[in-house]
Structure 1
Amino acid sequence: MRVFRPAGGQHVRVDTHGYPGYRVPASYDSLLAKLMTWGPDRETAVARMLRALGEFRVDGPGVRTTTEFLAAVLDSPRFHQGRYDTALVDAVLARY
């Protein structure tokens, strides 16, 4: 990876083995990093996650992330209203 800059800050946790210069094998495990946030309530935790997803930077040949997709799920009205199920994944994917 040419660029690997995980999000940070208070109440943000990243578990990863990635780093700038890491060579991602062609048959890599798609879990290069796990991003978690915490908040005293759901709204705060989601806002922190949206910020963290926006800050996370990964770039390199053949490496794609799901950060934009995850942000779209978390920012969807259905998710904010707590009216989500697995069909939300299909609805968000249809926009891509």
Structure 2
Amino acid sequence: MDLGDRDGAELYYGAGGNSMMLAHYGGPRLVALIFDFLQRTGSVAYWPGEAPCGAVADAAVLATLPQDMVDTIRPVAVASPEELDKAICGHVG
């Protein structure tokens, strides 16, 4: 899927629409789609790196996560696509 933003993206949805994977990341339209997915599903967005991290769109989800997940990816609650983008870029949390 090319969203026509900065870098485009390859976005794959799992069976039933309950999971998705990105092969490339970039642009505000993609971040808005990810945020919408988090809101609808109560999922955790996770991205790897030297310091893996993650985000949820509903703070109540944080209390339901296994402690080892919290310790490893340190997920934060975000209230908008803009906050999600900042979290992905390492400016929140």
TM value normalised by structure 1: 0.32
Larger radius of gyration: 1
Higher relative contact order (CA 8 A, sep 6+): 1
